[in-house]
A and B are shown apart, each in its own frame.
Chain A
Amino acid sequence: MPINVISAGIATTIQDLGRPGYYHLGIPMGGAMDRLALRAANLLVGNDEGAAGLESVFVGPELEFTEDAMVAVCGAELPPKVDGEPRGTWTAFPVKAGQVLSFDFLKAGARAYIAVSGGINTQPKLGSRSTYAIGALGGIDGRAVQPGDTLPLGTGVKAVKEGLAVPQELRRGPGSPAELRVLPGLYWHRITEAAQKNFFEDTWKVANEADRMGYRFQGGRKLDFVAREQPFGAGADPSNITDACYPYGSIQVPSGTEPIVLHRDAVSGGGYFMLGTVISADMDLIGQLQPHTPVQFVRVDMDTALAARHDRAAVMNAIRDALA
């Protein structure tokens, strides 16, 4: 018995934890941009952490349920309503057959994860239900959810307590100004020492061009390049390189003007230099940044990156313990 999509919100897509293993063919891992929020939402409704849910950006969908289910909304503060009655985020609540789940205006963050008991049970493609629109993979016909779609639900869910909630102290947001920790590397040596310093000193703002492929930033000083004769095959602009692979989280700066941080639906490679990479622990935060949010890039070393990754895993473990 499916869920009927009455309205789709903005860029609402089906996402799980993604499809690693095909990046060498230009097919990105995809999956939820805020994985911690998707995992938490799934745990709240008794699903496996990696079950598919909905990722909604800024505006939530309107969904009619045709069977009873538990629902949880985590990540962005996008307040859910059942038949118009408000419900809490980061908290499991029941929706009965015939009831409509809708959402109030966004209060904080950017991406809400809607988990439903059973998980959304569309056909996996290359091992994942995640929607990758450019490659027309996953989701429903490889595209975002539309009004009139029906979302099939899986079965075999663990029973959960009504009112189960993620403790307040474990609900982490990006803060303001948001801090994104960066490990310099890749083509860091291509920009001048002054540019290296400016990049971390300046406050950047999230641009309007901020999506699953990447987040663009504006407002900092232009980065100057160390002079060189461009290598054969790279292209004439000093920001060009011989087309190479792009790490997830890597920061490319075409023409030295606007940094772009690549995210889960990244292009796998191309011809722009990259100055470094946002550490894995901070990737979930990027997906919760609204346009115009001030952002400070913070230089860290590998030990700090690994410690941060450890801390992030500890938060997830604490959520698992709290919901067990």
Chain B
Amino acid sequence: MTSRYTFGGDEHIFVEVEEAMSLEAFFVSLSMTNAVREAGIEGVTEICPANASFQIKFDPDVIRPDDLMAELKRLEATAESAEHALDTRIVEVPVYYQDPWTNETLMRFRERHQDPDATDIEYAASINGYDSVEKFIEAHSGAPWFVSMVGFVSGLPFLYQMVERQRQIEVPKYLRPRTDTPRLTVGYGGCFSCIYSVRGAGGYQMFGITPMPIFDPEQKVSYLQDFMVFFRPGDIVKWKPIDRAEYDEAVAEVQAGTFAPRIKNVRFSLDEYNADIDGTNAKLMGALYAD
């Protein structure tokens, strides 16, 4: 890979590993940011990995921009030879597809949409060649997803589906972004799924909602007491379609402090995955649902 290095003003270096999204590009970005962290370079203040790129924020009073640029390029060789595997978590995230709240919101912003006569999920199903929304939901929830970036707003995960390129879903963003999105909406833009961690503006197509909070500044949610943000790059997610009754039950459990997401520790190897995608995913599911 030939990464492109560029300055973001006098305080940032931006490195684009690849223009297009791929797990290979993600792993180079992650390896690079890990290498930068381990190098403990004085003057580096923020290390932000993204899907197929990353960004370093630095204090130019401490390290000269050109010196940091040279140091990053030097680290690229180390990062490229790093093993593309990681110890991570697989998490089951329940999704109530076609829920009433995102439906109300999408109706409110219909004039900003490519297809005002269809819902977001009907539109996404149709342009991706699925003859029913049910088939589309099967595809969306049928194979696991890789958290390839955390950001935009507080703890929002960008997720990339672990299937061959030709099976990947692609949808455009809204023609003009919405000014409102329900908290915990499961969205889709480009080749990425996301969970909106907080209520606010958004341009991704809205498919459903999860009852599982992923950001809690008060840290009252049982599994967010250690830290207010749930997701980390490299986490693997399995969507579990649920209905209204299951959604309501999960919300009640979250409020009672008894909701415990299904989480297992797993090791993910990109080489193994590339050699056998379905087999690797089956193993991941086996680990998630063991016991």
Name the segment of B6-14, B104-112, B279-287 touching the other chain.
B6-14
Interface core residue of A233, A247, A268, A278 (most chain B CB under 10 Å) = A233
Query: A177 an interface residue at 8 Å Cβ cutoff?
Result: no
Residues 25-65 of chain B: 1 if any A CB is under 8 Å from the residue's CB, otherwise 0? 00000000000000000000111111111110100110001
What's the least CB distance linking A104 to chain B, in Å? Answer: 33
Query: CB distance B150 to A26 under 8 Å?
Result: yes
Name the segment of A44-52, A91-99, A237-245 touching the other chain.
A237-245
Query: A167 an interface residue at 8 Å Cβ cutoff?
Result: no
Query: A185 an interface residue at 8 Å Cβ cutoff?
Result: yes
Query: CB distance B11 to A302 under 8 Å?
Result: no
> A residues within 8 A CB of B52?
233, 242, 244
> B residues within 8 A CB of A322?
none
B5 (CB) vs chain A CBs: closest residue = A185
> B residues within 8 A CB of A280?
9-11, 60
> B residues within 8 A CB of A135?
153-154, 198, 215, 217
Query: B70 an interface residue at 8 Å Cβ cutoff?
Result: no
Query: B89 an interface residue at 8 Å Cβ cutoff?
Result: no
Query: CB distance A26 to B152 under 8 Å?
Result: yes
What's the least CB distance linking B276 to chain A, in Å? Answer: 22
Query: A259 an interface residue at 8 Å Cβ cutoff?
Result: no
Query: CB distance B11 to A268 under 8 Å?
Result: no
What's the least CB distance linking B100 to chain A, in Å? Answer: 24
Contact of B57 among A23, A25, A232 (CB under 8 A): A23
Question: Could you count the A-B residue pairs with CB atoms below 8 Å apart for me: how many are there?
Answer: 180
Query: Given A242-B52, A244-B16, are A23 and B151 neighbors across the interface (CB < 8 Å)?
Result: yes
Query: Given A26-B153, A249-B9, A302-B10, are A232 and B50 neighbors across the interface (CB < 8 Å)?
Result: no
CA–CA, A305 and B7, complex, Å: 12
Name the segment of A109-117, A154-162, A200-208, A269-277 touching the other chain.
A269-277
> B residues within 8 A CB of A25?
150-151, 154-155, 229
Query: CB distance A245 to B48 under 8 Å?
Result: yes
> A residues within 8 A CB of B20?
231-234, 242
B21 (CB) vs chain A CBs: closest residue = A233
Query: CB distance B57 to A247 under 8 Å?
Result: yes
Query: CB distance B191 to A268 under 8 Å?
Result: no
CB-CB contacts below 8 Å: A196-244 with B: 231-237, 240-244
> A residues within 8 A CB of B22?
232
Query: A248 an interface residue at 8 Å Cβ cutoff?
Result: yes
CA–CA, A302 and B64, complex, Å: 10
B156 (CB) vs chain A CBs: closest residue = A26
Query: A298 an interface residue at 8 Å Cβ cutoff?
Result: no
Query: CB distance B21 to A232 under 8 Å?
Result: yes
CB-CB contacts below 8 Å: B184-228 with A: 189-192, 197-198, 200, 215, 217
Query: A3 an interface residue at 8 Å Cβ cutoff?
Result: no
Query: Given A26-B151, A134-B153, are A302 and B190 neighbors across the interface (CB < 8 Å)?
Result: no
Query: CB distance B155 to A26 under 8 Å?
Result: yes
> A residues within 8 A CB of B264?
none
Query: CB distance A242 to B7 under 8 Å?
Result: no
Query: B149 an interface residue at 8 Å Cβ cutoff?
Result: yes
Query: A186 an interface residue at 8 Å Cβ cutoff?
Result: yes
CB-CB contacts below 8 Å: B205-259 with A: 215, 217, 229
B33 (CB) vs chain A CBs: closest residue = A24
Query: A173 an interface residue at 8 Å Cβ cutoff?
Result: no
Contact of A279 among B10, B21, B170, B190 (CB under 8 A): B10
Contact of A134 among B10, B14, B49, B200 (CB under 8 A): B200
> A residues within 8 A CB of B53?
242, 244-245
Contact of B8 among A234, A237, A247, A271 (CB under 8 A): A247
A135 (CB) vs chain B CBs: closest residue = B154
Contact of B12 among A136, A188, A233, A247 (CB under 8 A): A247
Nearest 9 interchain pairs by C-beta: A247-B8, A233-B21, A277-B9, A245-B55, A231-B20, A268-B151, A247-B12, A26-B151, A135-B154
Binding site for B on A (CB under 8 A): 20-21, 23-27, 125, 134-137, 142, 183, 185-186, 188, 231-237, 240-250, 267-271, 274, 276-280, 302, 305-306, 309, 313
7 contacts between A and B (CB under 8 A): A27-B229, A137-B217, A185-B8, A185-B14, A231-B18, A233-B191, A250-B9
20 new A-B contacts at CB < 8 Å, known A20-B46, A249-B8: A20-B57, A24-B48, A25-B151, A25-B229, A26-B155, A125-B217, A185-B7, A232-B191, A235-B190, A236-B172, A242-B53, A243-B149, A244-B14, A245-B55, A248-B57, A268-B152, A271-B190, A302-B10, A306-B65, A309-B60
